[in-house]
Amino acid sequence: MTDHEPLIHIARRDGLVWWRAWCIRLIGAALALLASALFIYSITKLNPVKVYAAMWEGAFGSARRAWITARDASILLCIGVGLAPAFMMRFWNVGAEGQVLMGGCATAAVLIYLGRTLPTAQLLTLSVIVSLVAGAVWGLIPALFKARWNTNETLFTLMMNYIAIQITCFLVAIWENPKGSNSVGIINQQTQAGWLPALFGKQYLLNVIIVLTIAVVMYLYLKYTKHGYEISVVGESENTARYAGISVRRVIIRTMVLSGAVCGLSGFIAVAGSSHTISTATAGGRGFTAIIVAWMAKFNTFVMILIALLLVFLEKGAIQIASQFNLNDYASDVVTGIILFFLLGSEFFIQYTVRFRSHAHKTQEVEA
Amino acid sequence: MAEEFAVRMVNITKTFGHVTANDKVYLELHRGEILSLLGENGSGKTTLMNMLSGIYFPDSGQIYINGREVTISSPHDAYRLGIGMVHQHFKLVDVLTAAENIALGLPGGLVVDRKAIGARVREICDRYGFSVDPDKKVYDMSVSEKQTLEIVKTLYRGADILILDEPTAVLTPQETETLFAVMRNMRADGKSIIIITHKLNEVLEISDRVTVLRKGEYIGDMDTAKADARALTDMMVGRTVTLNIQRDLPVDPQRRLEIRNLTVKDADGVVRLDDINLDVYAGEILGVAGVSGCGQKELLEAIAGLQPAVSGSSIKYRPTGRSGPAEELLGLGPRAVSDRGIRLAFVPEDRLGMGLVASMNIAGNMMLKEYRAGKSPLVERRHPYDMARNIVRELEVVTPSIETPVRQLSGGNVQKVLVGREIAMHPTVLMSAYAVRGLDINTSYTIYRLLNEQKKAGVAVIYVGEDLDVLLQLCDRIAVLCGGRLSDIVDGRTATKEQVGYLMTNMGKEASA
Amino acid sequence: MTQLISLLTSAIVFGTVILYGALGEIITEKSGNLNLGVPGIMYLGGIAGIATAFFYEMYAAEPIGAVGLILSFLAAFLASALGGLVYAFLTITLRANQNVTGLTLTIFGAGLANLFGGSLNALAGGVGQISVAVTSRAYRAYSHTLAGLGWVGQLLFSFGFMAYLAIVVALLASWFLNRSRVGLNLRAVGEDPATADAAGINVTLYKYLATCVGAGISGMGGLYYAMDYIKGTWSTDGTIEALGWLAVALVIFATWKPARAIWSAYLFGVLYWAYNYIAGLSRATIELFKMLPYVVTILVLVAVSMRHSREAQPPRSLGLSYFREER
């Protein structure tokens, strides 16, 4: 009668030692690089090894390039760190794009309207505050509805992105400089008022330090504080949370305010510390990419550093090969997509074991 | 020779991990009869029927349908053999109509012919005395309508062997009468029916024969005409088994909880607890007996502050030493209760889904109730780790390390972690629901020992259980629930198994009369 | 009057793009899969159509519009369905998270399409526009006699065939989901896969098919955009992505009902273009106007969750992967 067992038996693994899990991920990544190489070769007939070398060149080839890579990776990381608490609570905040833009707009507003009247220290303080608040509000709105009416947060936060994008376009039109350019231009280009200052002569060092600090603090917050503990419990089981006397609603709202605020702060860093202008490119899809960063890292902020670096490396590298080999820099998105597909797929082999029927039989016989 | 049997199940064994749900079970169903499958909770009735309807696959044994040996490896196979089962949890899609639910998964033309289905449904209804509106959406239906729809669905699919899993558990007495009338009509029409139940009066009222299971084993079957309630109870609960659980007389029991007029309704407005009046004493173990779903869960959750009660209900807590005023617990919620310094320990039935955080390690779970302590925004980690190590050592929890997520522990070890944590909070009230379900003998005895120690330490212990032997040998008093009502409270030292069995099936009045 | 007609016609063209996207996503979501890869899929459909037509027109001595149309149409459907297949394999077989997989598909699809779009531009002679004029003309063909019948003709008969096809697809989808046996089973899969499984429905097969066919239909939105809306050219300005998200919004706005999606799509079009027909708007205000479709979608989403209306809810198992319980 056992012939009627299903052919393939899939069972959840009871935890895999961390190094084996990482081995599986590495195999996934290696396969992904292979697939990407095949893809690059098939459309360009270029030697993929050379292409990868060129990508390395593009991302880390010079001190300047390395700094730009670090700058962009740190913004991506910052957004990912912002998403971590929401995801740990199993709240699908796909609204980072909008939260970043709102933070960026708030910062730009401070820089534009008060740039002549306040000293940089005060400008920066004020910018930080307003960007935190703007991002927090953008995170709070869907959270309120989720907590009260269980409104689907994935769809709600997704829609909030586009409202933020249109608000940004609206502000760009108001602030455009020079008139008719449809862009804000570099804000306070002469005075550099409200810009994050260079540290030890390195323009982006402060960005990196700020973001790494946030990452460490977030790691500690999630792991060691009472709030972080509550977030884990709510994310695991609302029933257990109620049993332990945790107010699920309050945790949802508080956590989304935090998540939105950190994403808003990423907008501040992008504007005051990086581009010194505001447009929809301030977020430029990074709010979405960061979702993948946070998810792949299983909410561990240190793993996020690696993944953020990997993705930015791919992007910068692809831009390099685009110019070097006369390709188009969208190749980076293709390679990113392929790598992420493989990494997503490899998680299955970490979570589950697959046994075929014949194999199952053998083990039964052995046990018998 | 076997032609007279619609179903024969021979020597059926099914195990889940280390638990044997069915051990060499026999079942015979004659054509055109109603058979009761009787047994307490956890006796393996539903598992056995799930194997007949293709949900589970037996480890060993044979199934014969109409005399022919068959293999049933999916619900689809069961349908093909004319077997239809109505589960306790209805398998209906809410947003679809009755007719659409019936049509689900059936072969047929491109278009669902609602008219034809409607006509067939009405025909079935007329024949057996149902009433189903084919165009009504399932979310608009009452529980009994949904159940009717489930039965019609199986008949529509041509079932002539019907299995009903505790169909009356969700019905009012009037609805039950209607169901029984329908069942008699179906029998008259030549259908063979198995009804899973633990209510003796129903067995006697509706069935021709009865098969009894106990703890996964086949006990026997008999004609209902020759059976009486007493004989059936004896078969169902078995001879008293001496467990050698230590039981001391309570020392200076003081009233700890006063439950008055406690009435609880669920989200659908169905009364789950009906006017319960009960006192719980410190220094004694109060057992709660009853077939499952009779309000045990609601009772414990109401005390724990997780279940809102109808106004007029009251649960008063009296602190130790008779000093100080009694405090009303209802309406406080678990957090406010613990903020008032009232230490209620609660070992819920759903260990991993409610009592513990499955993905956290043992230490992480130790914090669950006291992580708030202190003003620091950080959780205190040393104490939980000490606690975890203590529990692992003292209760002999088998785990690779205290860092292992509790999800990966075996059931017994999970329970040790949970009970250990609740006891470590030095409770004044300790509630436990099905604390030894699924545990091996040794672990069960560990749990009994722990409960007895708590009793000796002056804790008011409430033990909700399903094994009457245990209840009778562990508890000082036993409150018996039946359908959300308190049947009676009996003395654990003098009560008999039969007596409690009758009270559970609400025949206590007749029996004592 | 002319202004109104002109607004409505542009709204219909705009609405048709997102209608395709939304219809495909409705079919997909009815199986319980929330595919946030719609923008990527629309990109795939658009580029596959354009590229096929481009190579056909380049290599055929005398390209015939109808042939280009059929080839590009099939290619677009196939490419989009393949995108859906990747998503289906990852989320159904490998049980990857639906949101993350969908977003990755969007990144991948947009990248692939714009990579090829850019290369095609380069092949056509560098910076300038590429165009597949012959095929695009076939897509945009309409009866001038009928369209000449005053404003009625303008409003009803001045579009390429895909605008009408979208309505047909919507009505078919509506019929399919509400009347047909397979559609009924599909809805059961999205609502309650365990029940569907118990009723003998092959849940995995249904999810795969719905996701792939749904993606194929969504991809038609990209094809229509490339062939008709921007007249057989390619631009890497990211419009398709914005339209793709609008299509996701439309699914919510239409409360998962294909027939309702028709007028909702045109309404989105009117909301989107209304600024063109209101005098004295500044460019800044115009940007605020473009926000309207998203705002009304949120209002619908909130209203639906507050009213608890059973008929307007998302499919109950949306976003969750299903596998039979193992004991």
Q: Quote the pLDDT of residue B162.
A: 92
Q: Quote the pLDDT of residue C132.
A: 80
Q: Quote the pLDDT of residue A365.
A: 35
On the question of pLDDT at A295 being above 80, the answer is yes
Closest-CA distance, C115 to chain B, in angstroms, reads 43
Q: Any chain B CB within 8 A of the CB of C324?
A: no
On the question of pLDDT at A39 being above 50, the answer is yes
Domain with CATH 3.40.50.300 in chain B: 2-237, 243-343+429-434+462-513
Cα B365 to Cα B417: distance, rounded to the nearest angstrom = 8
Chain B residues whose CB is inside 8 A of the C196 CB are 93, 104-105
- The mean pLDDT value for B281-294 works out to 87
Q: Quote the pLDDT of residue B324.
A: 67
Cβ contact A237–B377 (<8 Å): no
Task: Supply A57's token pair.
Answer: 């060149």
Q: Quote the pLDDT of residue B508.
A: 46
* Residue-wise pLDDT tens digits, B337-358: 888 888 899 999 888 888 898 8
Q: Label each residue of chain A as H, E or C.
A: CHHHCCCEEEEECCCCCHHHHHHHHHHHHHHHHHHHHHHHHHHHCCCHHHHHHHHHHHHHCCHHHHHHHHHHHHHHHHHHHHHHHHHHCCCCCCCHHHHHHHHHHHHHHHHHHHCCCCCHHHHHHHHHHHHHHHHHHHHHHHHHHHHHHCCCHHHHHHHHHHHHHHHHHHHHHHHCCCCCCCCCCCCCCCCCCCCCCCECCECCHHHHHHHHHHHHHHHHHHHHEHHHHHHHHHHHCHHHHHHCCCCHHHHHHHHHHHHHHHHHHHHHHHHHHHHCCCCHHHCCCHHHHHHHHHHHCCCCHHHHHHHHHHHHHHHHHHHHHHHHCCCCCCHHHHHHHHHHHHHHHHHHHHHEEEEEHHHHHHHHHHHC
Chains that touch B (3 or more CB pairs under 8 A): A, C
Q: Quote the pLDDT of residue A366.
A: 34
Cα C273 to Cα B504: distance, rounded to the nearest angstrom = 71
Cβ contact C181–B103 (<8 Å): yes
Q: Quote the pLDDT of residue A135.
A: 94
Q: Quote the pLDDT of residue C143.
A: 76
Cα C303 to Cα C172: distance, rounded to the nearest angstrom = 28
HSE-CB for B500 with a 13 A CA cutoff = 33
Q: Which of C90, C115, C282 sits opposite A328 (nearest CB)?
A: C115
On the question of pLDDT at A368 being above 60, the answer is no
Q: Which amino acid is at A198?
A: A
- Name the residue with tokens 């909030």: A160
Q: Which residue has the higher pLDDT, A63 or B317?
A: B317
Which residue from C minimizes the CA distance to A151?
C305
* Residue-wise pLDDT tens digits, B26-60: 999 999 899 999 887 678 888 899 899 888 888 88
The sign one gets for the Cα dihedral B118, B119, B120, B125 is: positive
Mean pLDDT score across all residues of chain A: 83
Burial zone of C181 (CB within 10 Å; 0-12 exposed, 13-18 middle, 19+ buried) = buried
Band (pLDDT 50/70/90 cuts) for residue B127 is: confident
From chain B residues 46-85, the ones with a CB under 8 A of any chain C CB are 55-56, 74-76, 79
User: Following DSSP, what letter does each residue of B483-510 receive, concatenated?
Assistant: TTEEEEEEETTT--HHHHHHHHTT-HHH
Domains of chain A, each with CATH number or no CATH: 1-46+325-368 (no CATH), 63-310 (1.10.3470)
Chain C residues whose CB is inside 8 A of the A338 CB are 108
- The mean pLDDT value for C184-198 works out to 90
Max avg pLDDT among B138-152, B370-384, B386-400, C20-34: C20-34
Q: Quote the pLDDT of residue B40.
A: 75
Mean pLDDT score across all residues of chain B: 85
* Residue-wise pLDDT tens digits, C218-269: 999 999 998 888 888 887 777 888 899 889 989 988 989 999 999 999 998 9
Q: Quote the pLDDT of residue A362.
A: 39
Cβ contact C100–A152 (<8 Å): no
Q: Which amino acid is at A132?
A: L
> ipTM of the assembly?
0.86
Q: Which of A149-158, B311-320, B409-418, C140-149 bottoms out in mean pLDDT, i.e. has the lowest?
A: C140-149
- The mean pLDDT value for C99-126 works out to 82
- Cβ atoms of B318 and B255 within 8 Å: the answer is yes
Q: Which of A35-39, A363-367, B83-87, B378-382 bottoms out in mean pLDDT, i.e. has the lowest?
A: A363-367
From chain A residues 18-47, the ones with a CB under 8 A of any chain C CB are 43
On the question of pLDDT at A258 being above 90, the answer is yes
Q: Quote the pLDDT of residue C122.
A: 67
Band (pLDDT 50/70/90 cuts) for residue C128 is: low
Burial zone of A119 (CB within 10 Å; 0-12 exposed, 13-18 middle, 19+ buried) = exposed
Q: Which of A155, A292, A326 sits opposite C103 (nearest CB)?
A: A292
Report, at the CATH architecture level, how domain B243-343+429-434+462-513 is classified.
Answer: 3-Layer(aba) Sandwich (3.40)
- The mean pLDDT value for A347-367 works out to 58
- The mean pLDDT value for B258-283 works out to 87
On the question of pLDDT at A263 being above 90, the answer is yes
Q: Quote the pLDDT of residue A192.
A: 77
Cβ contact A237–B58 (<8 Å): no
- Name the residue with tokens 């933070």: A103
C-alpha distances (whole Å) from C302 to each of A136, A146, C297, C309, C313 are 20, 9, 9, 11, 11
Chain A residues whose CB is inside 8 A of the C101 CB are 341, 344
Q: Quote the pLDDT of residue B241.
A: 66
Query: C230, C269, C224, C228: which is closest to C246 by C-alpha?
Result: C269
Probe site for chain A from B70, B77, B335, B379 (most A CB atoms < 10 A) = B379
Report, at the CATH architecture level, how domain B2-237 is classified.
Answer: 3-Layer(aba) Sandwich (3.40)
Chains that touch A (3 or more CB pairs under 8 A): B, C
Cβ contact A243–B346 (<8 Å): yes
Cα C191 to Cα C195: distance, rounded to the nearest angstrom = 9
Cβ contact C185–B79 (<8 Å): no
Q: Any chain C CB within 8 A of the CB of A220?
A: no
Q: Which of C200, C310, C316 sits opposite B75 (nearest CB)?
A: C200
Band (pLDDT 50/70/90 cuts) for residue B509 is: very low
Phi-psi region of B480 (alpha: psi -120 to 50; beta: other; left: phi over 0): beta
Chain A residues whose CB is inside 8 A of the B421 CB are none
Task: Supply A46's token pair.
Answer: 């270029």
Q: How many CB pairs under 8 A join B and C?
A: 66
Cβ contact A326–C122 (<8 Å): yes
- The mean pLDDT value for A50-65 works out to 79
On the question of pLDDT at A331 being above 80, the answer is no
Cβ contact C119–A332 (<8 Å): no
* Residue-wise pLDDT tens digits, B92-106: 998 899 999 998 888
The sign one gets for the Cα dihedral C292, C298, C299, C300 is: positive
Band (pLDDT 50/70/90 cuts) for residue A83 is: very high
* Residue-wise pLDDT tens digits, A116-136: 888 888 888 999 999 999 999
Sheet holding B161-165: strands in order across?
A: B68-70, B60-65, B5-16, B19-30, B217-223, B209-214, B34-38, B192-197, B161-165, B83-86
Over pLDDT 90: what percentage of chain A?
Answer: 28
Q: Quote the pLDDT of residue B299.
A: 92
Q: Any chain B CB within 8 A of the CB of C95?
A: no
C-alpha distances (whole Å) from A221 to each of A85, A215, A231, B358 are 9, 10, 10, 21
Q: Quote the pLDDT of residue A259.
A: 95
Cα B161 to Cα B143: distance, rounded to the nearest angstrom = 23
Q: Which residues contact A198 (CB under 8 A, 6 or more apart)?
A: A205, A206
Cβ contact C107–A289 (<8 Å): yes
Probe site for chain C from B104, B138, B140 (most C CB atoms < 10 A) = B104
* Residue-wise pLDDT tens digits, C132-166: 877 888 888 777 777 777 777 777 777 888 889 99
Task: Supply B276's token pair.
Answer: 């319960």
Band (pLDDT 50/70/90 cuts) for residue C326 is: very low
Element at C234 (helix H, strand E): none
Band (pLDDT 50/70/90 cuts) for residue A367 is: very low
Chain B residues whose CB is inside 8 A of the C199 CB are 75, 91, 104-105
* Residue-wise pLDDT tens digits, A172-193: 888 887 777 778 878 877 777 7
- The mean pLDDT value for B208-213 works out to 91
Annotate B433-472 with b (16+ C-beta within 10 A) or e (fewer). bbbbbbbeeebbbbbbebbbebbeebbbbbbbbbbbbbbb
Q: Quote the pLDDT of residue B513.
A: 36
C-alpha distances (whole Å) from C278 to each of A163, C129, C263, C281 are 21, 32, 22, 7
Q: Quote the pLDDT of residue A81.
A: 93
Q: Which one of 2.40.128, 1.10.3470, 1.10.1060, 1.10.287 gives the CATH number of domain C2-312?
A: 1.10.3470
- Cβ atoms of C224 and C156 within 8 Å: the answer is no
* pTM: predicted TM-score of the whole model, two decimal places: 0.85
Which residue from A minimizes the CA distance to C289?
A166
* Residue-wise pLDDT tens digits, C282-302: 878 888 888 888 898 899 888
Q: Which of B74, B75, B96 sits opposite C188 (nearest CB)?
A: B96
Query: B489, B492, B462: which is closest to B297 by C-alpha?
Result: B462
On the question of pLDDT at A1 being above 50, the answer is no
Q: Quote the pLDDT of residue A126.
A: 92
Chain B residues whose CB is inside 8 A of the A15 CB are 404-405, 408
Count of CB atoms situated within 10 Å of the CB of B47: 24
DSSP structure class, residue B376: -
Which residue from C minimizes the CA distance to B112?
C181
Q: Which of B76, B79, B104 sits opposite C188 (nearest CB)?
A: B104
Task: Supply B324's token pair.
Answer: 């100080």
C-alpha distances (whole Å) from A180 to each of B428, C237, C284 are 75, 19, 12
* Residue-wise pLDDT tens digits, B306-319: 888 888 888 888 88
Q: Quote the pLDDT of residue A274.
A: 83
Band (pLDDT 50/70/90 cuts) for residue C176 is: very high
Q: Any chain B CB within 8 A of the CB of C199?
A: yes
Q: Quote the pLDDT of residue A114.
A: 87
On the question of pLDDT at C26 being above 90, the answer is yes
On the question of pLDDT at A238 being above 50, the answer is yes
Query: A119, A75, A24: which is closest to A263 by C-alpha?
Result: A75
Q: Quote the pLDDT of residue A356.
A: 65
Q: Any chain C CB within 8 A of the CB of B108?
A: yes
Probe site for chain C from B20, B59, B112, B154 (most C CB atoms < 10 A) = B112
- Cβ atoms of A296 and A134 within 8 Å: the answer is no
- The mean pLDDT value for C178-196 works out to 91
